[in-house]
């Protein structure tokens, strides 16, 4: 699938920098629709995970305070160029997405 995630990962001096951009509406459930004056239901990413060669290197628990189309960047040690990286998310409505890429 992976239509909603863009990821780049580069290793330099044994430190891998991962940058992700996730396309998601991230609705808080606290806003009203201006046309109907009804509350817009909450729809947000609850968990983001990243695996390096099948081993979890990041688990992030998110909530309604994260903005639309969130950007996430983090670093970890121990990867090499060509290793596998998988980034996944799950939202409060049960939808999910993931992408696998190679570290450069």
Q: What is the pLDDT of residue 1?
A: 46
Token representation of residue 85: 């990286």
Q: What is the pLDDT of residue 13?
A: 94
pLDDT in tens, 60-95: 999 999 999 999 999 999 999 999 999 999 999 999
Ordered structural domains, the chain, with CATH: 5-102 (2.60.40.10)
Tens of pLDDT, residues 24-59: 999 999 999 999 999 999 999 999 999 999 999 999
Q: Average pLDDT, stretch 9-18? A: 96
Other beta carbons less than 10 A from residue 83's beta carbon: 16
Distance CA 93, CA 104 (A): 34
d(CA 76, CA 37): 45
Which DSSP category does 39 fall into? B
Whole-model pTM: value is: 0.91
The label of the residue with tokens 């696998």 reads 100
């Amino acid at each position: 699938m992976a239509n909603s995630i863009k990821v780049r990962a580069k290793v330099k001096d044994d430190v891998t920098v991962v940058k992700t951009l996730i396309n998601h509406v991230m609705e808080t459930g606290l806003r009203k629709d201006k046309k109907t004056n009804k509350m817009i239901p909450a729809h947000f990413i609850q968990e983001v995970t990243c695996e390096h060669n099948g081993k979890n290197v990041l688990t992030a628990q998110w909530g309604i305070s994260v903005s639309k189309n969130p950007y996430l960047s983090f670093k970890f040690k121990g990867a090499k160029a060509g290793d596998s990286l998988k980034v996944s998310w799950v939202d409060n409505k049960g939808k999910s997405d993931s992408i696998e890429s190679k570290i450069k």
